[in-house]
Structure 1
Amino acid sequence: MQAFPMNPDRLEAPVQLIDDTGTAWRLRKKRVDLRAVRRLMKDRAATVVLGESGGTRPRLVADVERPMLWDQVKDGYRGPGGSRTANRYLAHEFRTDADRRLLYVEEHC
């Protein structure tokens, strides 16, 4: 999966992510609400990607990892609906032309 020069939250539009299959995902919404993060994490049709190293190094999250990632994100989310003191995770929604959804979770240390 393509790496970003900086986290997607700081990139100017249009932001595109190319996955390992060559699918182009376009950033649709930055800083999604925590309720949307939960909904997309539970939606098996949605793809979940974790952006490690400050959101710049994306990796696909396996279905078995999603519950553990959700447990971490829900308590450390700094976007809308999250804790005002949290600053570890931020999430964005990407889509394809076929309207498939991808949740991109930035991880900051």
Structure 2
Amino acid sequence: MAQPYLPAEKFLSRKQETILLDDDVIYWKRMQQLTVFQEPSVVSSVRISPKKPFHVATTSSVRLTLYDTTVCEPLNLFSRFKKGVCSIDFRHDGRLLGEHLASL
């Protein structure tokens, strides 16, 4: 008995593949190496801005660092705190950063 005819699979060129991929897949495919942010001590809080460009803020002891996620480098370093910084948070529009100091 004869087998039914099955059409051959379509092969896509690289250009066609990138058109079919969504933004998340393209973003993660561009990643080449792991980025490690250096902090002087234990990181006590990490927050990501809710709006673009999605900056990352971290606290470590008496230091608050704001990182740019597109180039993976620090934007600002705030270290003039008399007490340790426990936690941070962004305002809902992402334009203001607030911190909570340790009461010790």
Is the radius of gyration larger for structure 1 or structure 2?
2
Q: Which one has a larger percent helix, Structure 1 or Structure 2?
A: 1
TM-score normalised by the chain length of structure 2: 0.24
TM-score normalised by the chain length of structure 1: 0.23
Kindly indicate whether structure 1 or structure 2 has the higher relative contact order, using CA contacts under 8 Å at least 6 residues apart: 1
